[in-house]
Amino acid sequence: MPVVIILAGGLGRRLGSLISCVPKPMAEINGKPFLAYLFKFLTGQDITEIVLSVGYKSEVIKEHFRDKYDDIAIKYATEDQPLGTGGAIRNALRFVTDEHVFVMNGDTFFPIRFATLFDFHKSKSSRTTLALKFMKNIERYGTVTINGEGRVTGFDGNRYHEAGFINGGIYLISREVFDGIELPDNFSFESDFLKKYYRQKTIYGLPFNDYFIDIGVPHDYERAKTELKRFEYR
């Protein structure tokens, strides 16, 4: 399997005092940092290397996980200044030599089967493929529409939807995904790349039915403490 980039530089402003002064992916869930759940999940996905994109309080993450988790090697791509999700990905790609690379949000748990996403991505000769999650009563997220072939045909903003696919925060991208595009140092992968270039770049999406949670707001952070007990960690 390709290398995985995990975006772990979030401040967690919406969580406020609930996570003290640590990066959002280090928010404590039942005595362990949230990142430990992501790492444990990745040990079952034939992943051998992770690049952690870190910024705010990066020393907290580095001191906790150091350079290895089980048999997975860990590298760090440090932001000297905020780069946004897109800039963080581009910065982390400097550490990647694989033709394709997985990208995960460090505050989202969506335990899909990476091999399934990889096979679909390759079958479409895609350079960007999103893992999608079907949800009902959507309020926090925008929706993604796809055609019968899985090609993304549109993004709808953050407003109420009775049902639809949301971006699950896991991507499979080509290492050259940003080639030929003029982008600033600090940019959003979601707004400044996906939504702007999906027609030009032929982006695909694949739905998954797996469990999904984003700990970015207090209610869901507290919910994770109960629901993630079913997943093993160390």
Say how far apart CA 114 and CA 111 lie, in whole Å.
9
Q: Whose CA is closest to 225, among 11, 22, 18, 9?
A: 18
Say how far apart CA 2 and CA 38 lie, in whole Å.
16
* The CATH fold of domain 4-230: Spore Coat Polysaccharide Biosynthesis Protein SpsA; Chain A (3.90.550)
Residue 234: the pLDDT is: 44
Q: Per-residue pLDDT averaged across 210-225, rounded? A: 92
Question: What pTM value is reported for the model?
Answer: 0.94
Per-domain residue ranges of the chain: 4-230
DSSP secondary structure string, 147-188?
-TTSBEEEEE-SS-EEEEEEEEEEEEEETTTTTT----SS--
Q: Taking the CA of residue 7 as centre, how many other CA atoms within 13 Å lie in the half-sphere pointing to its CB?
A: 26
| Count of Cβ atoms closer than 10 Å to residue 182 Cβ | 5
Q: Per-residue pLDDT averaged across 152-171, rounded? A: 90
Q: Per-residue pLDDT averaged across 175-200, rounded? A: 94
